[in-house]
Structure 1
């Protein structure tokens, strides 16, 4: 049985403009510049730079736009030809113009670095070996099995089976192992082609000149690798009947080896990411001064040509269908340009107001740079100060940096939870982490403090936190457990 019901529902939806504004606020400086360039290309009614004349209103009169929807107006087609401004080509003419150079400029170009990949470099080294056709195919296959860190993480039997199915090369484990150890392991950087960390370190140690320390280091890695990784130094001293100083020298040799022989080469081919601060804080006469990166404050204006086209159209007495459609297109672009300029200004105000509130909230830290003076601060604290939504504050803090007298900082790192010390005062978890880090840095590395001892030391300083909380903070600081911090 069908029934009809009338139901009232209150809902709130973001307009497309509001969604776009939130996206603009979230963008860091470099991404914002890219978005700005895209908008300038897509919307010919939007122009960068200062407007040459102030005679025409920067954004135009909205009443002028609305008048063009009135079909009762008579337009004289001879007065304006909109088709001259538009092209049927897929690429508009304005995109093909390049007026940013003078005739006397020299033709200049930037050289492009042709980098050789890690695997290509290994293949080039194979050309220095005299190999028959089958051995070369096997060697090249092994090089192709090396990952970016320089390791072969596959079993020899799997490689043999893979070559049989994919290359039609039928061989055995013994021959593949022979080529691996006598050819691949001779390639540079030394240690490439190892199947695990132990083999990688051994390959590098065996290429060193024989000495008492090098021989000891080789024996430790080859026969006592488990005890070495677990830092059972007393066991190693008893095993080899050596002094602590002899063991320390052997460990120094091992620590200078490269555990990732392909890592440095692979990293050189990656794009370098540069951090562009979105804000800058300076101390002037004992007072904090905040500035927004100038790249976030572009000078934009609506195209005068497009505004004049609308003015001319309005004064016309006749119209044609094609001109009517063209003017609707122009009106749409003008509206889009006006909204984008308004959104940029609102973005600037939101960024500045939010960062200003953060700066004043953490004023003690910004004045002397002592991280222990960072106050507990959550998104709601700043949202209440500036009267904005928490999600907006989150977008401002996300992926943005501020240049301070003490270095460039990620804004979201200033936010932290609060804990109560022994005097009943709220302290930031950042302050506790900093003190914990100082305690670990000052500890005796021959007898590092376990987590329960660290909890006791923090309690003595007025921070009563549990051992499991200490372990959590230690892991967040990327500090290993006490046994792994031990040194001889």
Structure 2
């Protein structure tokens, strides 16, 4: 039975302006230039005004939280066009920054990157030097192309045979592929073409002096006791192989010299991680100064030609359907251009306001760079200070970097939970992590400190935390358990 009812619902929806603001807010400086170029290509009503000699209006844009709803009276659903809204010189003719976003130390030097052959190109060059028939050459090419970035062959041999049949029209047998694989495993770097870690290490050991007793014992350890070796059960190895502590130490050192990822040896050198900071904090005689890096944000303005279209429409007596559709299109592009300029400016103000609140909250830390001075701080602390939603602060903190005199850091790294000491004082858990790192760095590696012992040390220092919390902090620092930190 069908029934009609009348219901009232209160819903919160994001306007197009809010969605655009949210997306721009979480874009870091390194990606902002590409985003602006994309908008310039898509919207002809938006222009790059960096070459224009126009004064920037001293217009204040109120802080707008993208996670709170606001009236969208500027929706282009209206049939009425206010031409004056688009042709006023003082409103949107030019876009430039109200802040000093330049870095005094930024001389825009490019990082030189050495030109070198890739890992796969080096293998291909070695294959080209061999006297092979066409069939073996194609099999060798297929094997090289199937290696992963670490230099391992993860694909099953039967899958390689299928690939050769479908892509190269070569019907190969399993023995032919395995024979060619042995040839490639003899290439440099040593260990290439292995199917697992054990085979990779054995290939490298086989290229060393086979008359050396240490190499012979190391080969035996990798072949028969790799699991015990990786778990550092050194006592079991000594008993099983009848070795002394000194002999085992030499064997372990020999195995540790091997490269578990031979493919990286030719690829990592060409990779460079370059972080462009979004903020710069300068210590000027004990006074901190914050600037926002805006070198990737060109000046933007609304197109004069599109404004002239509205002037022409206002003076024209022709009001037919085609003219109205054309003006509707122009109006939509102008709205989009204005919203984008608005969103860029609001993004800058939100970034500055958020970072300034973080800097003021952690003022002592930014003066010295000492982790002990880092105060406990959560997203809500900053959100309350700037009067915005927690999710807005999270978007800023998760993708933005700040450059200080003691390093460049992700904003997220300044947030930490509070831990109460025996004296009742609240300190950052980063302070505890730093003490943990120092304790582990200074420990006797022959008898590393267990989590229980680390807990006792922290309690002696006034930090009353549980052993499981110590284990959680240790794992967060990527420090293995005591047994795996043991050295001979």
Tell me the TM-score normalized by structure 1: 0.79
1:310 CA drift (Å) = 2.8
Maintained 8 Å contact 2:378/2:416: yes
> Per-residue displacement from partner, 1:92-146 (whole Å, max 9, x unpaired)?
xxxxxxxxxxxxxxxxxxxx99976544543442333334565555544544443
Paired residue secondary structure (2:261):
coil
* Structure-to-structure mapping, 1:228-377, within 5 angstroms: 228-236=229-237, 244-267=245-268, 272-295=272-295, 298-318=298-318, 321-377=321-377
Partners of 2:241 and 2:212 lie apart in 1 by: 16
1:224 CA drift (Å) = 4.1
Partners of 2:165 and 2:33 lie apart in 1 by: 53
1:231 CA drift (Å) = 2.2
Q: Which residue of 2 aligns with 1:32?
A: 32
1:353 CA drift (Å) = 0.4
Maintained 8 Å contact 1:191/1:204: yes
Deviates more, 1:164-173 or 1:125-134: 164-173
Paired residue secondary structure (1:192):
coil
Paired residue secondary structure (1:449):
coil
Deviates more, 1:131-140 or 1:370-379: 131-140
> Per-residue displacement from partner, 1:253-301 (whole Å, max 9, x unpaired)?
322221111123344676x553111111111120111111123654222
Partners of 1:315 and 1:157 lie apart in 2 by: 76
Deviates more, 1:152-161 or 1:464-473: 152-161
Q: Which has the larger radius of gyration?
A: 1
Paired residue secondary structure (1:291):
strand
Instruction: Quickly say closer, same or farther: Cα 1:301–1:219, change in 2 above 3 A.
Output: same
Maintained 8 Å contact 1:372/1:435: no
Maintained 8 Å contact 2:30/2:296: no
Gaps of 5+ in 1: 74-111
Maintained 8 Å contact 1:297/1:348: no
1:449 CA drift (Å) = 0.8
Q: Which residue of 2 aligns with 1:146?
A: 147
> Per-residue displacement from partner, 1:236-260 (whole Å, max 9, x unpaired)?
4566666645544443332222111
Maintained 8 Å contact 1:45/1:302: yes
Q: Which residue of 1 aligns with 2:90?
A: none
Deviates more, 1:426-435 or 1:147-156: 147-156
Instruction: Quickly say closer, same or farther: Cα 1:113–1:256, change in 2 above 3 A.
Output: closer
What RMSD over aligned residues (CA atoms) do the two structures have, in Å? 3.7
Q: Which residue of 2 aligns with 1:413?
A: 413
Q: Which residue of 2 aligns with 1:438?
A: 438
* Structure-to-structure mapping, 1:360-399, within 5 angstroms: 360-399=360-399
Deviates more, 1:278-287 or 1:304-313: 304-313
Instruction: Quickly say closer, same or farther: Cα 1:56–1:426, change in 2 above 3 A.
Output: closer
Q: Which residue of 1 aligns with 2:188?
A: 188
Give yes or no for the alignment of 1:13 onto 2:13.
yes
Partners of 2:177 and 2:81 lie apart in 1 by: 83
Paired residue secondary structure (2:208):
coil
Partners of 1:21 and 1:419 lie apart in 2 by: 36
1:331 CA drift (Å) = 2.9
Tell me the TM-score normalized by structure 2: 0.79
Partners of 1:305 and 1:171 lie apart in 2 by: 69
Partners of 1:316 and 1:157 lie apart in 2 by: 75
Partners of 1:262 and 1:51 lie apart in 2 by: 51
1:447 CA drift (Å) = 0.5
Partners of 1:390 and 1:338 lie apart in 2 by: 27
Instruction: Quickly say closer, same or farther: Cα 1:57–1:320, change in 2 above 3 A.
Output: farther
Deviates more, 1:141-150 or 1:410-419: 141-150
Give yes or no for the alignment of 1:475 onto 2:467.
no
Q: Which residue of 1 aligns with 2:94?
A: none
Partners of 2:359 and 2:410 lie apart in 1 by: 13
Paired residue secondary structure (2:419):
strand
1:424 CA drift (Å) = 2.2
Partners of 2:24 and 2:360 lie apart in 1 by: 25
1:198 CA drift (Å) = 2.3
1:374 CA drift (Å) = 1.5
Q: Which residue of 2 aligns with 1:88?
A: none
Partners of 1:274 and 1:123 lie apart in 2 by: 30
Instruction: Quickly say closer, same or farther: Cα 1:70–1:419, change in 2 above 3 A.
Output: closer
Maintained 8 Å contact 2:281/2:289: yes
Q: Which residue of 2 aligns with 1:450?
A: 450
Maintained 8 Å contact 1:448/1:485: yes
Give yes or no for the alignment of 1:221 onto 2:222.
yes
> Per-residue displacement from partner, 1:362-389 (whole Å, max 9, x unpaired)?
1121111111221111111111101001
Gaps of 5+ in 2: 60-72, 84-112
Paired residue secondary structure (1:295):
coil
Q: Which residue of 2 aligns with 1:425?
A: 425
